[in-house]
Amino acid sequence: MTLLPVYFFPGPEIGHKRNRILSIKQALHDRNREAPEIYEYFPYDSQASDIVSDLLNGSLFSMGRLVIVAEAQALGENDVRTFKQYIDTPSPEVILIFTCDEIPGSRGYPRTLANVLPKKAIEVFWEMFERDKRGWVRRFLNEKGLKAEEAAIDLLLDITEGISDFLREACELLAFSMDSKKTILESDVDEILEHSRKETGFSLFERFCRRDLNGVLDALNNCSDSNAGDRIFSMLIGSIVRLSDFASLLSGGLTPENVATELGLGRGKRVLNTYMDGVRNYRKSELDSAIRSLVDLESWLRNAPRELRKSKTEILLCRVVGGYH
């Protein structure tokens, strides 16, 4: 595997992106015959000049380093100019990877960064189309000797939002729980996944759209006890962004079904009803304010003292969901 000194991995498909980074890590390991050091930075709490300084300084403990700059959409023009100087003459010991969830053409996509990188360094990790998600689910279940009715797949995609990590976790749980039964019904998905006490990004978003403050706080507490907690919080922000876009398109005269198609939300009734709840319960200005507040909170939480994290999160959610000021 030929390694480039710099990569840029935009796009929302978390699972495939993570696997790509792992393959680069393994290739770096194979090249140097030792495990690389791995560092991750965020623009919100690290200066570009400091990151570049770390990139240029050699390691005392390893021949190779893998450096990830996450949420690259937050990089400013000055940051990109600083990184451009490094990209022109990169360190031979380091693989630098920029990541973000945005896609080319979206409002938040870091075009300035993409423009200073060679095209071969950019790999977009698109979210799977609905037909691809369905095919993935069917193939996974077939390998386990199972089939699923269409309504069951609809509900499964609604609950997991089609994210590969959550789809795989859900399908593995279904396969483990089905015993001798060969066809998965919608009621099986509801019973096994909905009542397994495992919170997902979508279940948290449902409570948010209903303006169920107690439910949101309970769900977030359950999430914080699992490894998926941080991912689910990020997914909530992404879902509220889509809800804001949903409200804008709906006010432009499109039908809810057409808006769901335009935004790639899937065809399940449950996801459409959830977004309609959100439109009824929040003004557009409230949604945009919630997005800004939650992004700021997520940035603060990365380095916040553990004893303050829960209280500040709950206070902000009381303001956003409960309307308390």
What is the DSSP secondary-structure string of 218-262? HHHHHHHTSTTHHHHHHHHHHHHHHHHHHHHHHHTT--HHHHHHH
Are 242 and 185 contained in the same domain? no
Distance CA 230, CA 259 (A): 29
Can you give the pLDDT at residue 57? 86
Distance CA 248, CA 155 (A): 26
Can you give the pLDDT at residue 324? 67
Find, among 55, 70, 61, the residue nearest to 14 by Cα. 70
Residue 1 lies in a domain: no
Are 72 and 136 contained in the same domain? no
Residue 268 lies in a domain: yes
Q: Which of 79, 101, 121 is the last residue of a domain?
A: 121
Residue 160 lies in a domain: yes
Q: Could you report the per-residue pLDDT of 112-143, keeping only the tens digit for each?
A: 999 999 999 999 988 777 677 888 888 889 88
Distance CA 27, CA 220 (A): 37
Can you give the pLDDT at residue 122? 97
Q: Which of 148, 168, 194 is the last residue of a domain?
A: 194
Can you give the pLDDT at residue 24? 96
Distance CA 102, CA 292 (A): 16
pTM > 0.85: yes or no: no
Q: Could you report the per-residue pLDDT of 145-157, keeping only the tens digit for each?
A: 899 998 888 888 8
Can you give the pLDDT at residue 227? 45
Q: Which of 176, 194, 212 is the last residue of a domain?
A: 194
- Give the structural domain span for 117: 6-121
Are 241 and 136 contained in the same domain? no
Question: 21, 125 in Cβ contact below 8 A?
Answer: no
Can you give the pLDDT at residue 161? 66
Weakly modelled stretches of the chain, pLDDT under 70: 59-62, 130, 161-165, 180, 194-201, 223-232, 266-268, 324-325
Query: How many domains are contained in the chain?
Result: 3
Can you give the pLDDT at residue 201? 67
Are 134 and 46 contained in the same domain? no
Can you give the pLDDT at residue 117? 96
